[in-house]
Amino acid sequence: MKDAQNNPNGYNEEEFLKEESIYYASQWQLIWWKFRRHKLAIVGGIVLFLLYILAIFCEFLAPYSPATRFEGYQNAPPVKIHFFENGRFRGPFIYGLERELNTKTFQWEFKEDNTKKYPVKFFSKGEPYKLWGMFNSDKHLFTVDGHPLFLFGSDNMGRCLFSRSLYGARISLSIGLVGVFLSFVLGIVIGGVSGYYGGTVDIYIQRIIEFLSSIPTIPLWMALSAALPKDWPVIKTYFAITIILSIVGWTGLARVVRGKLLALREEDYTMAARLAGASEWRIIMRHLLPSFTSHLIVSITLSIPGMILGETSLSFLGLGMQPPAVSWGVLLQDAQNIAAVALYPWKLLPSIFVILTVLCFNFLGDGLRDAADPYAR
């Protein structure tokens, strides 16, 4: 009788406790419970975590540096990893590549030489490098002695595309984070001022946002990128491209922040903070912005793939990062020629990283967007 009074709906004890815990959970607990039900978002988050690990430790994970050339192996195809020989397990190994001239097409072609076998070694010595520019080492995750290991093939200068793709991830993935951070700061500050103060300030800021939003994004990026000096060092070009990508990116977030603050500035707790003597900056940062933090996180997550695609597009067109810098867009410059793609289709393999990154960010953003409103069914 007592259980029936405490559990009037007739649930078993486990279901009853689970439903009851919802009423005592915090906002962030509810968001997490709903987010983890979105399987694609979980998978996207895990894949993105692994991609950023690849970018952070690319010196150790890549078998070669991005500038290492192998004479006689220009435009070599991806090598096959073999585990069995004559039906017996031999461990991972590759066969050597032989180059010969095709007398019909006058193109160099490669084929496996089954008489030459090279084992794949793990955690072995290879080319020396400086991890993050600070720690000297020559250990690599995997290497092959006596023969190049081209998992993605090589480019027209005999450089390993797999190694260059890992190094390129560092620029392409970080430029999205840095660009969105700049857009986030501009959007929060300008949108916060516009929404909180309103009046003439709001009118002028909104006209500026409307003007920037009316300019086509890609032509604006191209015009500003084309104005950059070609002799700038890599670091200077990197930050210049990041600022260019952020010029328009902050307008959407500023409008979101403005709309939220216009609604929240008249709430009772805002008036109470004002009467208690809190400064206007403190009211915005400590009372208003935290009330829709989840929506800001979603906006940031969905903005990152746009930044990555922007850098890739500009570099692909020759207006973004320039060699010797390595990014995914720079690597895809070799795939501009249809004839080159037809003869060497593996030059498109770096695009897999771009597609995978954008898809995973979109999956993660969709999951966060659904979880941002945990009370919706």
pLDDT tens for 180-217 read 888 888 888 898 888 888 888 889 999 998 888 888 87
Cβ atoms of 180 and 358 within 8 Å: the answer is no
* pLDDT for 336: 79
pLDDT of res. 241: 86
- Least confident stretch, 82-91, 190-199, 368-377: 368-377
pLDDT band (50, 70, 90) for residue 376: low
Query: Which has the closest alpha carbon to 251: 320, 197, 189?
Result: 189
Q: pLDDT-based confidence at 4, cuts 50/70/90?
A: very low
**pLDDT of residue 176 exceeding 70:** yes
Residue 161 has pLDDT above 90, yes or no: yes
Is 138 in a helix, a strand, or coil? strand
In this prediction, residue 1 has a pLDDT band, given cuts at 50, 70 and 90, of: very low
Beta partners for 119? 93
What's residue 132's pLDDT? 84
Tokens linked to 71: 């004479």
Least confident segment among 44-53, 59-68, 300-309, 352-361: 300-309
Residue labelled with tokens 């987010």: 35
What's the confidence (pLDDT) of residue 51? 94
pLDDT of residue 10: 52
Query: What is the amino acid identity at position 47?
Result: V
pLDDT reading at 68 higher than 50: yes
Determine the Cα–Cα distance for residues 369 and 377; give it in Å rounded to an integer.
13
Instruction: For 217-244, write each residue's pLDDT tens digit.
Output: 778 888 888 888 878 888 888 888 888 8
Of 30-34, 275-279, 313-317, minimum mean pLDDT range: 30-34
Q: Where in the sequence of the chain do the CATH 1.10.3720.10 domains occur?
A: 164-371
Residue 222 burial by CB count (10 A; 0-12/13-18/19+): exposed, middle or buried?
middle
C-alpha closest to that of 296 among 190, 195, 372, 357: 372
Q: 354, 304, 320: which is closest to 241 by C-alpha?
A: 320
Between 157 and 247, name the one with better pLDDT: 157
CATH topology of domain 164-371: MetI-like fold (1.10.3720)
**Is pLDDT of 273 > 50?**
yes
Q: Is 80 exceeded by the pLDDT of residue 153?
A: yes
Give CA–CA dist 377/375, Å, rounded.
6
Distance CA 187, CA 180 (A): 10
From CA 312, how far away is CA 327, in angstroms rounded? 8
What residues contact residue 208 under an 8 Å CB cut-off, 6+ apart? none
Summary mean pLDDT of the chain = 84
User: Residue holding tokens 């939220």?
Assistant: 260
Q: Is the pLDDT of residue 335 over 90?
A: no
**Rounded to 5°, angle at Cα 248 from 357 and 313:** 40
Q: Are 168 and 326 in contact (CB under 8 A)?
A: yes
Residues 6+ apart with CB under 8 A from 331: 155, 161, 164, 165, 168, 347, 350
